Every structure is written in structure tokens, then in C-alpha cells.
Amino acid sequence: MALPLLAQSLRAARSTARPRRRTLPLIAAAPLAFGIPAWADDAEKAEPSPPQTTLNEVRVEAQADAGAGFAPAASQSAGKASMRLLETPQSVSVVTREQMESRQITDLQQALQTVAGVSPVNFGRRGFDDINIRGFRSTESILVDGLVQAPGMWTRLVPWGYERFEVLKGASSILYGQVQPGGLVNAVSKRPRADAFGEVNAAAGSFGMKSLAVDINRPLSDTGRSAVRLNALVSDTDDPVDEVWRKQQWIAPSLSLDLGADTDLVLFATYGKARWIRMQGTSPYGTLLPNRNGPVRRSLFTGDPTFGPYDVSNTTVGYAFEHRFNPRLVLRQNVRYESQEGEGRFVSLLALQASQRLQNRQATVQQFDYEALMTDSSVLSEFDALGVSHRLVAGIDARRSNARQANYTCRIGALNLFAPVYGMPATCPLRPTTFAPTKLTVAGLYLQDQIKFGNGWTALLGLRREYSRTDTHDEVRNRHTRQKDDATTGAAGLVYEFLPGWAVYGSYSESFLPVSGQTFAGELFRPETGKQWEAGLKYERPGGGLTASAALYDLKRRNVTTSDPVNAGYSVQTGEQRARGLELEAAADLANGVKLTAAYTYIDTEVTRDNDQSLVGKALNLTPRHTASLWATWRLPAYKRVTVGVGGRYVSRQVGSLPFSLPGYAVMDASVSYQGDRWRLTAGVKNIFDRKYYDGAINANVVSPALPRNFMVNASYYF
């Protein structure tokens, strides 16, 4: 019960200018800490937040090479335990720590640029992790150690704190519950290890970028089973767009305790604070489309710096527990409490005036306060029955969360795109435009069995039963709604290793995601569902060091919410969307000092049903039909301390329902590093040829200029 008590002690008094948080009651939180759903009749005790489950090996000695190399042969995410990629009947991609360091990664979007199926979409450098997988938005399906973050999280992951990012593609609700159909990203955190080490990293780069990070690990016992690790980072950067900046501080201590040879316990916490001016984008008129007044500067800031920044802080505390009754029976529990509070201020673009000189705008103030308690308890069992081998994971995950966000829609003057004047006053209402505190309670029972028949045949079968309740109190309209949803989802796959290291597979999987809200007639929305068929070929070189895969899939998203054609401001659920595609990936750690990762994606998306008939048959926005990427490093044979890296990305034209399309582009990156005895120096340049392109669009009024050529130098000292 220490965790809920600690969670309460971390809540400070909130400013009366913000929506006041109602804390998760201890009486409800206690059962959750043991993986048991606490269904309360009182609507005061439920709320929304991130999904569930976790599993990374908690054993400290098993973490030693979690982020090494470019070509890992196993992942945690598909089975909540280490599972060979070759025996997984679903597409899984892994971005390791070594890959991230060689490419000088600073955010999640950059890290996933080399992953097939992940669209390089960007809605402006607005401070969040915007992710599209297989054509569908997956921003709310980002997990940390198997537990989903709160859906209202307004900050982004700090790659410095993670050993690897695993991307599980397609409908994946069996083990993780409420996720979006395109797929999910699981960030595997750095955890204490048995060896003593330390690293200090300093970086500087274009646009005033500078950061300082530390990673220190110390064993606390002779065996190293008790250990402490501290990761921290501070950063400060400007932007090629005028007036845009970001300042961030982040710290993550973790402690492993020696509770005996068969028991592991890791306690962890994080605290982060970020302040930034949001870069939302610029007008398409004068950039992608003609403007009778001439071109619009790419560096033009279309907001107003005096309106204020985002100011957000977030905290997490939790533990990961594992007990081995014997080598074939393991009990695991993962618990995380998280909270976030802050205020966000930004100016967005409305329609361009007829003169094409004045850009209408709208200012918004967001005041938010979130908290969530999540737990996943499971048993991992290996046994033989009926002449076959089973690896069974069975468990329950549950979460409760409270979300309070007040939005104020403010008036602000139009901006002259060719002679901008800042400091315009914004007129905001005294009462929120929207304020509907939401409480979510979720509980899911899941079962997944990996069955090995021998002779190279492996089956994976999964089943989940989930219940959720959402209580929403619209304080503006004085309306309370309670929405109860439940679903049974399944998955099945079969793998055949027909030659050593060569396997073919086929699978079917489902996803389930409740949708809050109601129609004009007062009918509650049905949950959104996803169904996917996938088939593919995988290769793993015997002895490791080389992996490759090819995947074909057909994915449908149903019950998509679309605009009500009769009642403005309301929505109805009639939409359906489809994505079909081919994904090719390869990764290698070769003996001659070459390491590489390569990917190609072909995707065909289509709106198959919508209230707006003009959209039917069109491609989904921001889904390029072709993308390709390559990144390779080479340790020079004559100068073994020197490693050079080179790579590039190609993205084809992006079409959809917007009045413009985003032109295709190709960019190249390069780096060089020198490894000393106790230090390393890396210098890199991204977008070498300074290609000017656009990598996103929020709506018909906004396009997002990509980063121009930029440089970075990293220096690390090891101790």
C-alpha cells in the first residue's frame, strides 16, 4: 500500500486559477495496486488515463545488452516476455540505444524514422509525440514499460531515458487493452544493472541547442542485485522559426532491491518539467499554394510570443516486481502512478482572408490536471501438455484515472503574413468554453499462449475480456453521462520455420477503443474497433547479427467518428477506413564493422465510408504511399576508433482530402565519431543538402515546415 500513499503525498496544492484535481481515493486505489478492479458506484471515483500492462525483464543482469547493436533478435512487447522475432506472427520493429546514439536522436519521432510502417508525420514542432502507424493515428498508444501513458499527456518522451523503442504494428488489444488500430510503441526504460558505470553527455547544435545529460549506475551489494541508477537531462533550444523555443528538465532515479535469488523488485520515479512556445505551422498560401502577395517566409511565427508558453510538469512513481517460483513459473506485477498538471497557451490559424495577406487566428488557453494509477499482474508459465510445449501468460490489468481540462477559446487579431506585428491583446472568456472532467475505470482479463508443436511450427493464440466505465460531467452544459463498454477481442497466428532462420507466418488480430461522447440525439458512441490480417516472411541468421522481414497486411478501422452533416458541432459514427500495405525491413551487425538498418513501406489507404461522400474513396491524410530509409555506420578498419555514419529517407507525395498535397522529398544525414579510452565525440549533420520540405499539416489552414540543415556535436565521458 506504500505506492498509493506515496502518490498522495506527491500532490501539492493546486492554484485556484486551474481546474482543481479530485484525487483518486485510497479506497479505490488499493485494490488496483494488487491488480483487482475497484468498481465504485460513485461516479466520483473513476476517470480516464493510459492503458495497461508491462513487461520487460526486471532482472538487473538481463538488462546488460538491452540496447546493443542494430539487429536484436527478440522483443518484449509481443508476449510480455522476451520472444524471438522469428517466432512472432506479427510485425515488430526495435530501435536500440546504439541506433539512437549513432543517429543523435533527440525525440521519439526522430527515433522511429527508420521503422517501416511509421509515417514521418509532423503537426509542427508543437511539443508532443505525434505518431502515425499503418496510416492511423497512434499518439495515444505510446506505452512505457508495457503500461500506457495517460491519454492527456502533454509532454514527449525523453529518449535518453530508454534502452529501446519497440513498435508492435497492427491491432493489438489482446495484451494491452484500449489501443489504436495502427499499432503501439513500447518504450523500455533504463533500469539498474549489476555493474558500476557512469556517463556524462554534453551536446550543442544548431538554433542554440544545448543539453547536458547523466547516466550513473552503482551496485549496492556484492552480487549487484541491489543497485541504483540515475538518469537526468536538461536541455534548451531555439528553433528556425522566429520566437519558438523549448526548455526542459527531466530526472529518473530507479532502485533494484535484493530480495533473494528468485525475487526482483525495481522501484522507479520520474519528474519532468518543460516550458515551450508551440510552433504550429504556417499558411499553405505563399508556401505550397500561390499567394498573390508573394511567398511567405518559412521562419515566420504565426502565433504571438506574448500570449505565453506551455508550462507542464509531470511525475511518475511505481515498481516492477517479479518472483520465480521455479524456472517455469513466474509471477509479475507492474504498477505506476502518474500525474501531470500545467497550462498551455497557443495561437492557431483559421481561414486566410480574401486579400491573402491577413491570416485569421484563434487563441486558446488549456488548463489541465491529470492523474492515473495503472497496474498489470500476470503469471508466466511454461509447461508441456498433450505432446506440445506451452508458454502461457495470463493476467489482469486495471487502471483508474481522472482528467480535468478546461479550454478557453479567446479572440485575437489577424496576423499580416508579410508585415507581422506581435503583442496583440487576446480577449478570453471568464468561464471555460469547454470543461468536462472525466473519470475512467478499466479492467481487462487476458490470456495468450505460445504453442510449439515441433518441426518448426509455432502458434500464438490470445483472448481478452475488457470492461470500462467513463463518467463525464460537462460543467459548461451541466450534463452528466456514464458510458459503459465491454468487449471480447482475440488474436491468432501461426509461424512455420521451414529452414533454419527462415520462417513464414500468418495472423489475425483485433483492437478495441471506447469513444467518449454522444450524438445530437443523445446516443452514446460505440467503441472503435480494428481488425487486421497479416502474412509475412522473416529471416534471422543463425548466430545472430542479421535480421530481415517482409509483411503484407489488410487493416480496417470501424466506427470512426465523423462530422454530423445535419447538426453542426456534433458527430456521428458511420465512418470506416482501410489500410493495406507491404513493409520490408532489414538490420545487420556485420563482422567487418558495418551496422545498418533499412526499411521500405508501401501503403494504400482509403476512406471506405463517411457522411461526407466527397471523402469516400480518397486516401487518408498524411499517409505517403512510399517511404524508404537507410542508416549505416562503418568502423574504419585502418582507424578503428573512428566510425562514420550515413543515411537518408525518401517520402513520396502525400495526398488526401486537404486542398493541397505535400510534395515528396528525400533527405540525407551523416555523422562521424571518435572513440577514446574513456570518452567519445560525435559530430553529425541532418538534411545535408538543406532540402526545404513540409512534413505535416494539421488542417486545411496550416502546413508544417520541416527542419532545415542542422548540426549537432555530442561529447560523452565515461567513468
Please determine, looking at this structure, whether the domain spanning 2-17+30-718 carries the CATH number 2.40.170.20: yes
Q: Tens digit of pLDDT for each residue in 555-584? A: 999 998 887 777 776 788 888 999 999 999
Which residue, among 177, 171, 51, has the nearest Cα to 465 in the 3D structure?
177
pLDDT at 9 over 70: no
Please report which helix (H) or strand (E) contains residue 175, including its range: helix 173-176
Lowest-confidence segment of 41-50, 69-78, 185-194, 505-514 by average pLDDT: 41-50
- pLDDT exceeds cutoff 80 at 169: yes
Is the Cβ–Cβ distance between 540 and 546 less than 8 Å?
A: yes
HEC readout, 555-585:
EEEEEEEEECCCCCCCEEEEEEEEEEEEEEE
Residues contacting 490, CB < 8 A, separation 6+:
174, 462, 463, 464, 508, 509, 510
* Residue 690 CB neighbour total at 10 angstroms: 10
Q: How far apart are CA 117 and CA 136, in angstroms?
A: 10
**pTM of the predicted model, to two decimals?**
0.89
What Å distances lie between residue 309 and 89, 125, 205, CA to CA?
Answer: 45, 13, 23
Q: Residue 657 has what pLDDT?
A: 85
**Exposure b/e, 20-51, CB count within 10 A at least 16 = b:** ebeebbeebbbbbbebebbebeebebbbbbbb
- Report residue 87: phi and psi, to 5°: -100, 15
CA–CA gap between residue 561 and residue 315 (Å, rounded): 33
Question: Please, which residues bridge with residue 242 across strands?
Answer: none
Q: Considering only 153-157, 293-297, 586-590, 678-682, which range has the smallest mean pLDDT? A: 153-157
* Residue 313: pLDDT over 50: yes
Q: Rounded to 5 degrees, what are φ and ψ at 449?
A: -125, 125
Query: What's the rounded mean pLDDT across residues 189-199?
Result: 96
Across the range 108-127, mean pLDDT stands at 88
What per-residue confidence (pLDDT) applies to 562? 82
Q: What is the pLDDT of residues 88-108, one digit of tens each?
A: 999 999 999 999 999 999 999
The 3-state secondary structure of 441-484 reads: EEEEEEEEEEEEEECCEEEEEEEEEEEEEEEEEECCCCEEEEEE
Euclidean distance between CA atoms 609 and 627, whole angstroms: 26
Q: Residue 366 pLDDT more than 90? A: yes
- Residue 153: the pLDDT is 58
Phi, psi for residue 62 in degrees, rounded to 5:
-80, -10
The percent of residues in the chain predicted with pLDDT above 70, rounded, is 90
Specify which residues 361 forms β-bridges with: 349
Q: What is the pLDDT of residue 65?
A: 58
pLDDT band for position 120 (50/70/90)? Answer: confident
